[in-house]
Amino acid sequence: MTDDEFFLEPNIGKPAEKVGYFANRAGFEQFAAAYRDGMAQLPPRSETVAVQTSFGPVRGYRFGDKDAIPVVLLSGRQASTPMWASNLPGLIAGHRVWSIDSIGEPGASTQRKPLVTPSDQAQWVAEALDGLGLERAHLLGVSIGGWLATQVAIHRPDRAASVTLLDPANTLAPITWKMIAISLGSVIPGLPMSIRHWLLSWISGGAKADDSVPEARLIASAMRDFHSAQPTPTRPSAAELAAIKVPVLAIVAGRSIIHNAERAAAAARTIPGAQVELWPDASHAINGEFPDRITERFTAFAAGVS
């Protein structure tokens, strides 16, 4: 397997397998430029690795060298490691942090095999942890990354020391019509970038979203240049949530447009022992809005996990 500093043999052009891909070389190069610019905004990396999983190679980055149970960051839909720019400085002050680009999402990892079931999703994460030499980790996921962390808690609980869910998508309550409209609209071919930026701003509670914001530029490029082949995530059943034994911290954004916040918080409270908070002033872009508060809350939560 050959690779450059970041990308692991990306799929360019529609493959025979039902996997994510970049439509053409030009689209990939535009995305790659935005990705590299986003990575340049992050703290220095302690290690950059490539690990093999059954579903394709995964790119992982280590930040910090603290000797404790590591934290593994799981990004949102259409997002990757650069989305954690505001969170990493605080987290690495007290934790050893890994960020992995998710299989099937636009990033430096590459999907080789279809992801069919939620257990497939948990499996590739478990295999990535194996490749990183991590027996267990605190999983911290935002949006669809929170859904992914929840699937690990359900299907591979042995690999999660804890899970922290930042406004997880389609995990605790149904997706709203607003989010469905944005998701469908964002992938329309030829949609002007100004409209994609407007959609991102709407998701983010009105925050600025244009090419001057590295994370926004990257996600807008992903919307335009990457074709996902993942099935619609299946929301965990009430029985599955009630059976979770991994320690859970769920932080729900009160201004989120992806679900009804009160309903999501109520569902989170059915997870045994879960610590649940509803932050009224937060939007779905919660990780960028409240990085210091998230670090403080996560650190206190993780300290209580044996």
Which residues are bridge partners to 50 per DSSP?
59
3-class DSSP assignment, residue 289: helix
Number of structural domains found in the chain: 1
Q: Could you tell me if residue 296 is inside a domain? A: yes
For residue 23, the tally of other CB atoms under 10 A from its CB is 15
Which residues are bridge partners to 21 per DSSP?
227
pLDDT of residue 179: 59
pLDDT of residue 198: 46
pLDDT of residue 80: 96
Q: Could you tell me if residue 276 is inside a domain? A: yes
Q: Could you tell me if residue 10 is inside a domain? A: no
The pair of three-digit structure tokens given for residue 172, joined into one six-digit string: 């605790």
Q: Could you tell me if residue 178 is inside a domain? A: yes
Q: What angle do CA 125, 47, 44 make, to 5 degrees?
A: 115
Q: Name which of 60, 25, 273, 47 is nearest 153 in CA terms.
A: 273
Burial class (CB in 10 A: 0-12, 13-18, 19+), 175: middle
Q: Could you tell me if residue 211 is inside a domain? A: yes
For residue 12, the tally of other CB atoms under 10 A from its CB is 15
CATH of the domain at 238: 3.40.50.1820
Distance in angstroms (rounded) separating the CA atoms of residues 247 and 150? 11
pLDDT of residue 160: 98
Q: Could you tell me if residue 175 is inside a domain? A: yes
Q: Name which of 48, 170, 161 is nearest 109 in CA terms.
A: 48
Q: Which residues does 13 contact at the CB level (< 8 Å), separation at least 6?
A: 21, 22, 23, 24
- Put simply, whether the predicted model's pTM sits higher than 0.85 gets the answer yes
Residue holding tokens 């590295």?
214
- The domain of 99 spans 21-303
Distance in angstroms (rounded) separating the CA atoms of residues 50 and 90? 25
For every one of its 306 residues, what pLDDT tens digit does the chain have, with 9 covering 90 and above? 445 789 999 999 999 999 999 999 999 999 999 999 999 999 999 999 999 999 999 999 999 988 889 999 999 988 999 999 999 999 999 999 999 999 999 999 999 999 999 999 999 999 999 999 999 999 999 999 999 999 999 999 999 999 999 999 999 999 875 555 555 545 555 555 555 554 555 455 444 444 556 677 888 888 888 999 988 899 999 999 999 999 999 999 999 989 999 999 999 999 999 999 999 999 999 999 999 999 999 999 999 996
